[in-house]
């Protein structure tokens, strides 16, 4: 019944067969109910004119077959092979092909594909490398990895994670997993700035960029590459990790953890955290002004840890007074000091947060 339905989609009402190069857009309908890995890769027009195959390039005909007519290509599983395992299948796509996929289970790879791709996959990982396709792809279960791609559109996994590496035009949805946006040296080459804002997920910046401005509602930000200016904000909850905070740096989170290491030549660093833990690593050679304001609110006593290497004695929180009376559950620690003749500035503003500042 499935094969009959698919054949009706392809039958043109005439027996003439046409070359895949004679139409502007040629559907490639892929319906596989077997299990196994599939690779999609470009098949050059030159290969087609030389009589070489495009479409299904290698397979066991007992498990996977191909039909072609003027309406396009059909690659399908015969009824008798449903649910069986197949070896690696390679499908070559001409620039005119527009694949529509329904695949059962297995790893699926797209290598430098520029075609419009739509469809769904039951289970298995998806790997996308390069290409400039328009895409709408759904995966029921498994991870999706996209690298150095200019694909546009959406990819979604019902159960799994998504990695979008140097693929800024693609949107990923993982309701039961994590979407990670990664930017490497390759993707940031010749770019003066990186500005991104997402609702949830992770942002990883591995390469260097002069200016970075990143915002999340919830998730994690990791900045490993060197930057001159960086502005990092998580509005709800999450963690921020920075290995090379440059000349101008500002990071703020509502709830979570920060671990920040400053470069020796930093000029301004501003840290804001309302509920969580902050670990700062500041060069011993720092010269400039340090200002720390840590507040504890809604607690019977201030039990948050606080230490830094500019004060030998243990910092002490004091009760906040208004009109000569202590405000219940409100404590404050304030520290300000000019160190040396430098002009650098470190500003730390905390609420209900642990703080530790260590020398580098």
State the pLDDT at residue 51: 52
10 sits in which H/E element: helix 2-10
Tell me how many degrees the CA angle 210-211-213 measures, rounded to the nearest 5: 155
pLDDT in tens, 28-38: 999 999 999 99
Percent of the chain scored above 70 by pLDDT?
91
Would the pTM count as exceeding 0.85? Answer: yes
pLDDT in tens, 229-256: 999 999 999 999 999 999 999 999 999 9
**Lowest mean pLDDT: which of 51-60, 113-122, 230-239, 260-269?**
51-60
Name residues whose C-beta falls within 8 Å of residue 126's C-beta, 6 or more positions apart in sequence: 107, 108, 109, 110, 137, 139, 142, 143, 144, 145, 155, 157
Q: 232 or 43, which is more confident?
A: 232
Across the chain, what does the average pLDDT equal? Answer: 90
* Residue 64: CB atoms within 10 Å: 26
State the pLDDT at residue 16: 33
Tell me phi and psi for residue 287, to 5 degrees: -135, 125
State the pLDDT at residue 299: 87
pLDDT in tens, 331-355: 999 999 999 999 999 999 999 999 9
- Residue 58's pLDDT band (cuts 50, 70, 90): confident
pLDDT in tens, 271-330: 999 999 999 999 999 999 999 999 999 988 888 999 999 998 889 999 998 888 889 999
Residue written as token pair 């999706």: 144
Tell me the average pLDDT across 106-135: 96
Mapping DSSP onto H, E and C, the string for 158-173 reads CCCCEEEECCCCEEEE
Sign of the four-CA dihedral 159, 164, 167, 169: positive
Burial call 180-190: b when 16+ CB within 10 Å, e when fewer:
bbbbbeebbee
Residue written as token pair 């030549």: 265
Query: Are the C-beta atoms of 254 and 272 separated by less than 8 Å?
Result: no
Tell me the average pLDDT across 74-95: 94
State the pLDDT at residue 240: 98
- Residue 52's pLDDT band (cuts 50, 70, 90): low
Tell me the average pLDDT across 147-157: 97
> Is the per-residue pLDDT at 206 higher than 90?
yes
Tell me phi and psi for residue 156, to 5 degrees: -140, 140
> Is the per-residue pLDDT at 43 higher than 50?
yes
Reading the block at residue 353, the tokens are 């947060």
Reading the block at residue 281, the tokens are 């690593």
Ramachandran area for residue 276 (φ above 0: left; ψ -120 to 50: alpha; else beta): left
Tell me the average pLDDT across 74-99: 94
State the pLDDT at residue 205: 97
């Amino acid at each position: 019944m499935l094969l009959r339905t698919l054949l009706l989609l392809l039958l043109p009402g005439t027996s003439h067969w046409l070359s895949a190069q004679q139409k502007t857009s040629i559907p490639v309908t892929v319906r596989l109910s077997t299990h196994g890995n599939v690779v999609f890769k470009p098949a050059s027009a030159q290969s087609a004119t030389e009589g070489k195959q495009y479409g299904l390039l290698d397979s066991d005909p007992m498990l996977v077959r191909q039909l072609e007519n003027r309406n396009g290509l059909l690659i399908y599983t015969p009824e008798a092979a449903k649910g069986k395992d197949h070896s690696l299948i390679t499908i070559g796509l001409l620039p005119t092909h527009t694949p529509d996929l329904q695949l059962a289970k297995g790893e699926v790879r797209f290598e430098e594909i520029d075609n419009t791709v739509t469809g769904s996959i039951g289970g298995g990982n998806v790997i996308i490398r390069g290409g400039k396709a328009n895409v709408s792809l759904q995966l029921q279960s498994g991870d999706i990895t996209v690298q150095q791609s200019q694909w546009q559109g959406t990819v979604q996994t019902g159960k799994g994670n998504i990695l979008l590496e140097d693929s800024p035009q693609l949107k990923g949805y993982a309701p039961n997993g994590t979407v990670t946006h990664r930017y490497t040296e390759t993707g940031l080459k010749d770019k003066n700035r990186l500005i991104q804002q997402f609702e949830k997920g992770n942002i990883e910046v591995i390469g260097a960029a002069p200016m970075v401005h990143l915002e999340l509602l919830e998730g994690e930000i990791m900045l490993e590459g060197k930057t001159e200016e960086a502005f990092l904000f998580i509005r709800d909850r999450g963690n921020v990790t920075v290995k090379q905070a440059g000349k101008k740096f500002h990071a703020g989170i509502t709830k979570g953890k920060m671990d920040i290491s400053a470069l020796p030549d930093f000029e301004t660093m501003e840290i804001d955290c309302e509920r969580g833990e902050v670990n700062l690593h500041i060069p011993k050679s720092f010269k400039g002004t340090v200002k720390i304001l840590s507040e504890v609110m809604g607690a019977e006593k201030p039990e948050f840890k606080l230490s830094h290497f500019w004060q030998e004695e243990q910092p002490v929180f004091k009760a906040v007074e208004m009109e000569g009376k202590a405000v219940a559950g409100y404590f404050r620690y304030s520290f300000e000091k000019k160190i040396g003749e430098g002009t650098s500035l470190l500003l730390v503003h905390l609420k209900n947060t642990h703080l530790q500042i260590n020398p580098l």
